[in-house]
């Protein structure tokens, strides 16, 4: 039982004994004592003045004396105006540590068969290019969010919608057909997603050259773009694709398969996965069907050109296109179709979309449309909207090939981690395989932590150099502290010291030690808050604060050299539980922690 919960019960009993009144739990407000005052927890006594019929100081004094006599967890107290500052006894802190130690998954709540089912969509790549830095932020946020929602006792389904059709896909296909000379991932030694991405860039280069040539002949930019033979060919290819042309569909399937093999490798390296993948090529027809159903029911209307629209002016929005005049679908149609398929596959209670903030309006509209079409979770769907991620040198563009590729970025982070670790002598005495694995864990940990510690709603600049620093608010700093604790625990085990399941309560703790127990106990509340706020950064920054606090303790107190055996065992148990919470917290972020470094 948490110390706060014990105290609430004792305060309620005290108020009954002192003033003969029954008080509801919510009236008892306990908060952490401010740093400048002595004590751990502070009770606000103002709500009880009516029943005590006394001033705030006297009321606080009476409650304090009652608690000191009747509640073993209270060692002493002091009164400042209407605030009763309580100092918690060492024995109560050690009991709390024992409770944390007894629970291997402290702070995480297990789902049951009846827990709500939350579906989280993230990644959503296009099959015309490899994953880039923007996708990295999306995947890491989606994966961390799924872990956090699951740790709050929900059943979670992780899902991905792959944008595998449309004009952009046809551009890559056409460029490969024209300039590819039958090149394959095998013949070129390139990952399939990179190979297809190269042809997307090639299309743009040839298209720009055509437009420039036509402009030299006196056309305006708009005229030249409309007249470009290459773009016309790409449009014709899309029409053939929609009509199911066997040759176009064959080429499409072959190139998409190359891309999927490449994506799988990237996802594996990044440590993200999905329970179910949907493809736009399957969902857009379902969406069309659902839109036509909405038209019949009078939710939508048709214009003379045959296009279908939703009138959302009653909701304070505008008119939204759902199907073009030629019957082709827009993104909104696809999202409605995907929702239909997902709802048929899973009894979803809540749906979370991890998509950049440039789509805020889209999801506002989608929520209204899904609600109109009868999806129970439509109204409460969550758009987990996040900001752009850039590099110190600025924005990226796929068409021009100036994008930071996810694979290159991860490889570079691992190489930098290796170099930095070698310079600091952190890989000495390890085998090549161990050193490589630690470089991978540290490099990817640096990347993931740097991205996840920033509030997702904010735009951010990813700085690879800064992220791999072994000091400061970085992944490697946290990982290094974890490895340091593991080293202490190994030495203790070698010396034959065993940490008992229950730490005896007879020792006096320092303020630092009590503070650390209080901090690791907070982990459960942090996980809950991160789930309520959809915020992985809360866990990242809490973990950093915990590690910083532990390092000060490690610096100021002996552990293995401590002469008092009981104190030594307590400090080892405290260290082991700090390490456990660090491992669980980093695990929720999708970050591994190495036992040596």
CA distances from 528 to 32, 380, 514 (A): 18, 20, 23
Q: Is residue 399's pLDDT more than 70?
A: no
Task: Tally Cβ neighbours within 10 Å of residue 498.
Answer: 9
- The pLDDT of residue 324 is 87
Average pLDDT over residues 346-371: 94
Q: Is residue 522's pLDDT more than 90?
A: yes
Whether 593 is covered by a domain: the verdict is: no
Looking at the fold, whether 443 and 563 belong to one and the same domain comes out as yes
Which residue, 30, 65, 88, sits at the end of a domain?
A: 88
User: Could you tell me which residue, 141 or 374, shows the higher pLDDT?
Assistant: 141
- The pLDDT of residue 570 is 97
Looking at the fold, whether 219 and 70 belong to one and the same domain comes out as no
Q: Is residue 243's pLDDT more than 70?
A: yes
Q: Residues 6 or more apart from 243 whose CB is under 8 A from it?
A: none
Question: In the chain, pLDDT over 70 holds for what percent of residues?
Answer: 98
- The conformation of residue 322, written as its DSSP 8-state character, comes to E
Answer for the pair 79, 64: CB distance below 8 angstroms, yes or no. Answer: yes
Looking at the fold, whether 435 and 583 belong to one and the same domain comes out as yes
- The pLDDT of residue 517 is 97
Looking at the fold, whether 576 and 486 belong to one and the same domain comes out as yes
- The pLDDT of residue 402 is 61
pLDDT digits (tens, 9 = 90+) for 292-318: 999 999 999 999 999 999 999 999 999
Q: Residue with structure tokens 């705030």?
A: 56
Range of the domain at 568: 430-588
Whether 476 is covered by a domain: the verdict is: yes
How confident is residue 207, by pLDDT bands cut at 50, 70 and 90?
A: very high
pLDDT digits (tens, 9 = 90+) for 107-155: 999 999 999 999 999 999 999 999 999 999 999 999 999 999 999 999 9
How confident is residue 397, by pLDDT bands cut at 50, 70 and 90?
A: low
Beta bridge partners of 79: 84
Looking at the fold, whether 168 and 74 belong to one and the same domain comes out as no
Looking at the fold, whether 456 and 575 belong to one and the same domain comes out as yes
Which residue, 245, 272, 299, sits at the end of a domain?
A: 272
The C-alpha atoms of residue 279 and residue 282 are separated, in whole angstroms, by 6
Nearest in space to 490 (alpha carbons), one of 571, 555, 572:
572
Which residue, 217, 238, 272, sits at the end of a domain?
A: 272
Looking at the fold, whether 169 and 253 belong to one and the same domain comes out as yes
Q: Residues 6 or more apart from 488 whose CB is under 8 A from it?
A: 559, 560, 572, 575
**Cα diameter, the chain:** 97
Q: Is residue 202's pLDDT more than 80?
A: yes
- The pLDDT of residue 367 is 94
Nearest in space to 366 (alpha carbons), one of 386, 345, 347, 338:
338
Q: Is residue 407's pLDDT more than 80?
A: yes
Looking at the fold, whether 434 and 569 belong to one and the same domain comes out as yes
Looking at the fold, whether 438 and 529 belong to one and the same domain comes out as yes
- End-to-end Cα distance, the chain: 36
Answer for the pair 350, 380: CB distance below 8 angstroms, yes or no. Answer: yes
Q: Is residue 39's pLDDT more than 90?
A: yes
Task: Tally Cβ neighbours within 10 Å of residue 435.
Answer: 17
Nearest in space to 202 (alpha carbons), one of 398, 404, 406:
398
- The pLDDT of residue 337 is 93
Q: What's the total number of domains in the chain? A: 3
- The pLDDT of residue 69 is 96
Nearest in space to 234 (alpha carbons), one of 264, 269, 199:
199
Q: What share of the chain is helix, strand, coil (3-state, %, to 5)?
A: 55, 10, 30
Looking at the fold, whether 468 and 582 belong to one and the same domain comes out as yes
Mean pLDDT score across all residues of the chain = 93
Looking at the fold, whether 435 and 584 belong to one and the same domain comes out as yes
Answer for the pair 19, 11: CB distance below 8 angstroms, yes or no. Answer: no
Length of the chain: 597
Q: Is residue 168's pLDDT more than 70?
A: yes
> Alpha helix (H) ranges present in 75-166?
90-102, 133-151
- The pLDDT of residue 395 is 57
The C-alpha atoms of residue 411 and residue 414 are separated, in whole angstroms, by 5
Q: Is residue 398's pLDDT more than 70?
A: no
pLDDT digits (tens, 9 = 90+) for 562-579: 999 999 999 999 999 999
- The pLDDT of residue 499 is 95
The C-alpha atoms of residue 544 and residue 371 are separated, in whole angstroms, by 41
pLDDT digits (tens, 9 = 90+) for 376-396: 888 889 999 999 988 777 555
Answer for the pair 258, 184: CB distance below 8 angstroms, yes or no. Answer: yes
Nearest in space to 14 (alpha carbons), one of 87, 75, 66, 60:
66
Whether 174 is covered by a domain: the verdict is: yes
Answer for the pair 460, 525: CB distance below 8 angstroms, yes or no. Answer: no
Whether 392 is covered by a domain: the verdict is: no
- The pLDDT of residue 295 is 93
Whether 317 is covered by a domain: the verdict is: no
Average pLDDT over residues 188-209: 95
Residue 32 belongs to domain with CATH number? 3.30.1360.70
Q: Is residue 509's pLDDT more than 90?
A: yes
Residue 321's SS3 state is strand
Tokens standing for 359?
Answer: 């789509």
pLDDT digits (tens, 9 = 90+) for 5-14: 999 999 999 9
Tokens standing for 406?
Answer: 């996810």
Residue 507 belongs to domain with CATH number? 1.10.730.10
Looking at the fold, whether 75 and 212 belong to one and the same domain comes out as no
Of 91-105, 411-425, 471-485, the poorest mean pLDDT is in 411-425
| Kind of pairing between the strands at 350-356 and 319-323 | unpaired
Whether 224 is covered by a domain: the verdict is: yes
- The pLDDT of residue 331 is 85
Q: Is residue 258's pLDDT more than 70?
A: yes
Whether 373 is covered by a domain: the verdict is: no
Whether 566 is covered by a domain: the verdict is: yes
The C-alpha atoms of residue 467 and residue 460 are separated, in whole angstroms, by 13
């Amino acid at each position: 039982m948490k110390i706060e919960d014990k105290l609430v019960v004792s305060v309620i009993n005290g108020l009954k004994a002192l003033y003969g009144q029954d008080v509801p739990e919510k009236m008892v407000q306990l908060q952490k004592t401010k740093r400048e005052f002595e004590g751990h927890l502070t009770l606000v006594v103002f709500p009880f003045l009516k029943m005590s019929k006394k001033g705030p100081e006297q009321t606080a004094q009476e409650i304090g004396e009652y608690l000191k006599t009747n509640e073993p967890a209270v060692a002493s107290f002091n009164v400042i105006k209407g605030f009763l500052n309580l100092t918690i006894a060492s024995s109560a802190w050690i009991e709390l540590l024992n409770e944390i130690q007894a629970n291997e998954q402290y702070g995480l709540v297990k789902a049951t068969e009846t827990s709500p089912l939350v579906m989280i969509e993230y990644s959503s790549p296009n099959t015309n290019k490899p994953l880039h830095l923007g996708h990295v932020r999306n995947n890491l946020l989606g994966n961390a969010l799924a872990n956090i929602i699951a740790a709050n006792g929900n059943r979670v389904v992780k899902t991905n919608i792959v944008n595998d059709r449309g004009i952009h896909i046809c551009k890559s296909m056409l460029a490969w057909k024209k300039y590819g000379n039958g090149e394959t991932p095998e013949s070129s030694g390139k990952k399939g997603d990179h190979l297809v991405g190269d042809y997307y860039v090639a299309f743009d280069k040839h298209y720009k050259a055509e437009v420039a040539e036509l402009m030299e002949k006196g056309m305006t930019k708009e005229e030249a773009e409309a007249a470009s033979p290459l773009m016309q060919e790409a449009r014709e290819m899309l029409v053939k694709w929609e009509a199911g042309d066997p040759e176009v569909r064959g080429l499409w399937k072959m190139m998409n398969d190359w891309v999927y093999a490449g994506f799988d490798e990237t996802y594996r390296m990044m440590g993200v996965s999905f329970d179910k993948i949907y493809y736009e090529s399957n969902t857009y027809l379902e969406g069309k069907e659902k839109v036509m159903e909405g038209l019949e029911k009078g939710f939508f209307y048709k214009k003379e050109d045959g296009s279908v629209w939703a009138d959302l002016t009653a909701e304070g929005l505008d008119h939204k296109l759902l199907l073009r005049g030629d019957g082709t679908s827009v993104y909104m149609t696809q999202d409605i179709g995907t929702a239909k398929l997902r709802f048929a596959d899973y009894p979803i209670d809540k749906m979370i979309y991890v998509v950049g903030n440039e789509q805020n309006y889209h999801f506002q509209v989608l929520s209204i449309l899904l609600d109109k079409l009868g999806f129970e979770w439509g109204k409460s769907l969550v758009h987990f909207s996040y900001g752009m991620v850039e590099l110190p040198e600025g924005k990226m563009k796929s068409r021009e090939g100036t994008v930071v590729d996810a694979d290159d970025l991860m490889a570079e982070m691992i190489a930098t981690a290796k170099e930095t670790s070698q310079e600091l002598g952190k890989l000495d005495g390890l085998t090549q395989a161990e050193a490589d694995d630690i470089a991978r864990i540290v490099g990817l940990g640096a990347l993931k932590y740097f991205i996840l510690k920033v509030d997702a709603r904010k735009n951010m600049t990813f700085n690879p150099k800064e992220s791999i620093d072994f000091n400061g608010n970085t992944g490697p700093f946290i990982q290094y502290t974890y490895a340091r604790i593991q080293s202490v625990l190994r030495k203790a085990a070698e010396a034959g010291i065993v940490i008992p399941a229950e730490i005896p309560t007879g020792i006096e703790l320092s303020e630092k030690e009590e503070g650390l127990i209080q901090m690791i106990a907070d982990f459960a509340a942090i996980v809950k808050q991160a789930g309520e706020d959809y915020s992985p950064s809360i866990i990242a920054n809490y973990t950093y604060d915990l590690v910083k606090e532990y390092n000060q303790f490690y610096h100021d107190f002996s552990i293995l050299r401590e002469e008092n055996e009981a104190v030594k065992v307590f400090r080892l148990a405290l260290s082991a539980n700090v390490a456990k919470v660090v491992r669980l917290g980093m695990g929720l972020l999708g970050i591994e922690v190495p036992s040596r470094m």
